[in-house]
Amino acid sequence: MATNSALANVGDRLRAGREQRGLTLDQLSELSGLSKAHLSRLESGERQPSIAALLDLSSALGLRMSELLGEDPGGTPLSLHAPDETRHDAGGLSIAPCSGYAGSRALEALRVTVEPNREPAAPARHRGEEWLYVLSGTLELEYADQLYELRAGMSAHFDADRPHRLNARKRPAEILLVAAEETTDLRAIHR
């Protein structure tokens, strides 16, 4: 039940951000690369937003992903994040923001738990780069039609414009994921 409430709140914040910028669903669809129907389902809380979709939408709306997840955007240019930060569940991923001072727009850092054998999502693609570090477990990174197995202590840094997705097999994999936007075009990132 708490997950449904959290998802509805993301939808409400998404709609508010779109309306505050005077955008229609069609316009946001063009800016984010997500279909109008998908956006409508996200706003209504019928669909769970993926990390990729949240990154796309936050970039298109000029918001931090953590703002869409409910974090207060006000404050000083410093942010501190506790290990027990509130997590949001979406598509077999448990996500906790661990970056985001007021005015920061260049990168997003997240603690992500990838549940084993989660329902496979379509591979993500976005402008910019991703860096991830495996804290525990074994992560399967599918990147550009190749499968890579990363154990605890390993990291990967890649061009996120190529198709990529995450999975875990026998037990959850806990990772630190950093997504950085392309500096020449801050309009769109991840889906």
Taking CA atoms, 129 is separated from 76, 115, 188, in Å, by: 26, 23, 12
Question: pLDDT per residue over 8-36, tens digit each?
Answer: 588 888 998 898 888 899 999 998 889 99
pLDDT number for residue 183:
44
**Cβ-based neighbour number of residue 4 at 10 Å:** 10
Question: pLDDT per residue over 77-105, tens digit each?
Answer: 777 778 777 788 877 888 888 887 766 66
Specify the DSSP class assigned to residue 77: S
Domains in the chain, ordered, with CATH? Answer: 2-68 (1.10.260.40), 88-180 (2.60.120.10)
DSSP string, 93-108: EEEEE----TT--SEE
Copy the structure tokens of residue 63.
Answer: 């918001």
pLDDT number for residue 106:
74
Question: pLDDT per residue over 123-157, tens digit each?
Answer: 888 878 999 999 999 999 999 999 999 999 999 99
Is the pLDDT confidence value at 54 over 70?
A: yes
Q: How far apart are CA 167 and CA 187, in angstroms?
A: 28
